[in-house]
Each structure stands twice: as structure tokens, then as C-alpha cells.
Amino acid sequence: MAKDLEVAIVFADVVGSTQLYDKFGDTKASETVALCLDVMKDATYQYNGTVIKTIGDEVMSTFSTVDEAMGAAVMMQSRITTETKKNDGIPVSIRIGCHFGPVVQEQNDIFGAAVHTANRMTSQAKAKQIVISGFTVEQMSPELRKQTRQIDVATVRGRLDEVALYELVWQPEEATSMLPTIEWENKGRRASKLLLNFRDTTVEVSDKRKSINMGRADDNDVVIKGNLISRIHAKIEMRRGKFMIVDQSTNGTFIHDVQGRENFVRRDSAELNGEGTIGLGRAEAPGSNLAIYYKTIIE
């Protein structure tokens, strides 16, 4: 009997397994792949997950929470990095993708658009990388969310909009370098809100509303029509007292502050300080019909 569930779906596969067989022969390569599969399955069980199936050199698993899924993913990466070095020196890496969403479970398998999205995350990942969707990041605990960074956007089969791709930084030296210096905690003053003005529309980003979307699709918070503007072009988020603009577009986002400094962001993020103008897809001077005005308010 089919059952509806909402789970974190993880795909983990061995990178370049075909080349392993060509280079090291069937015996050594199959032993290495088998070791990787055992590590991936064991990590799944240790974080209360369920192994749905093994497909060649790939394991598909589900977890009740994203944090458990990420715990298993980090264990897979770290163990394979160390344990395969002992396996006669055969170099091997895995890549992992994850998406949280609804699925239909029938017997021992799962189906649905969320499965395709999770698989797409894996196809976008490089060796030793854990790639997750933007929606999945939103389901994480605050502490774990600090270890993520947006790296790209991608299209997914069956979806009209683009999906933001994030990386979970799992290696300790990289995670340490990401930790921000929280100067405003010591100074006692920080930006409390950001005002965004476009024509007759004013939108506020603050503790009450920490994220807004901009683009040409009608369901955005700020709707801007233009040939160079993506459906979901960019978003502005409040993160630990800072206002970040996150570009998710094809043509990028242009930022000009009142001091005359310019910044171009494409599939990356930048902090908004003071006041200035934002152009989606192209630079927009103050007074332009497509210019978006921003101003941060400090209290």
C-alpha cells in the first residue's frame, strides 16, 4: 500500500568508478567500490536512516530530518577519505546530494519529484562535495545552516523555476574559515532592517520578515519585468544582523552604493550596506525605470 512521507533523500555515489576498473582491474576496483558502499550504508544506519536501494556504485537513503541526513553524509565523506587510503592506496572519492520533500513509498521504494531533485543535487556535486537544495537548507538547525554556502543554481526536471544549490562545508579546515567575525555583537549597534523600494512598492526585510524574492515571476515579493531578468532572479536575506543579496540568475545582479562603489554578483552573495541601487540583469543608474533602491537602517 502506498504511503505519503516527507523525508530527506540522500544519493551518494562513487566518483569515476569506471576509471577505477580500467586502471586497477576488476578485483581491486570492485573491492574498493564495495568498501564505499559498506561505509555509506553503515553511516545511514548510524544516523537512523533507511537504505532504500543500491544502484551499482550508488546508495539511496532517506532520513526523518535534514540534520540526520547531513550527519550521515559527513560521516560518509570523512570515513571514505580515511579508510580508502588504507585500501592498497587506491584513490577514491564520493559525491553526495540531498533534498528534503514529499515522496510516495510503495513497498521498499520511493517515488516523486523530490527524488528527482535529490538526484539532480548529486549530479551537480563534485568529488568530496555535499550539495543540497535551498529548500533543504531552510529545514536545517541554525548551527548546521552556518556551514552552508550557495554555489550555483540549476534546473530540475518537472520544475519551471530554478533550484538554488548549496554546499555543506564538512571539512574542518574549510568550515573554520567560514566562521564570521560578528562585530556587531560587541559594538551593540547593528542594522535592524532594510528598506527596498521599486516604483510604488516598498518592502521591508527585518526580524519580522527575514527573506524576500525578486524577479519577473508574479509570485515574487518584488516583481520586475525585463528581458534579462530571471523568473526568480535574486533574494535578500537577513543573516545574523547582516543583509545579504543572493543572486540566483543567469545574467547576474549589479549593486551600486551611494559612495560610487560597484559590485557584480552572479550565483553568489554579497552584503548590502548603507544605501544604493540594485539592477537585475544589468546595471541600473539612479532614476532608471528598473532601478531598485535599498537602504539599511541602524538602531
pLDDT tens for 221-275 read 999 999 999 999 999 998 767 899 998 888 899 999 888 888 888 888 888 989 9
Q: How many domains does the chain have?
A: 2
Task: Select from 152, 178, 204 the last residue of a domain.
Answer: 178
Q: Provide mean pLDDT across the span 110-138.
A: 91
Give the rounded percent of residues in the chain with a pLDDT score beyond 70.
87
Q: What are phi and psi of 142, to 5 degrees?
A: -55, -40
Question: What pLDDT score does 299 carry?
Answer: 67
The residue segments making up the domain with residue 261 are 183-298
Instruction: Verify that 31 and 68 share a domain, yes or no.
Output: yes
Q: How confident is the model at residue 49 (pLDDT cuts 50, 70, 90)?
A: very high
Each residue of 186-212: pLDDT tens digit? Answer: 344 456 899 999 998 999 999 889 899
190-204 CB burial, b ≥16 within 10 A, e <16 = ebebbebebeeeebe
Question: What pLDDT score does 186 carry?
Answer: 38
Domain with residue 259: its CATH number is: 2.60.200.20
Instruction: Verify that 141 and 27 share a domain, yes or no.
Output: yes
Question: What pLDDT score does 87 carry?
Answer: 53
Instruction: Verify that 113 and 260 share a domain, yes or no.
Output: no
Question: What pLDDT score does 83 carry?
Answer: 74
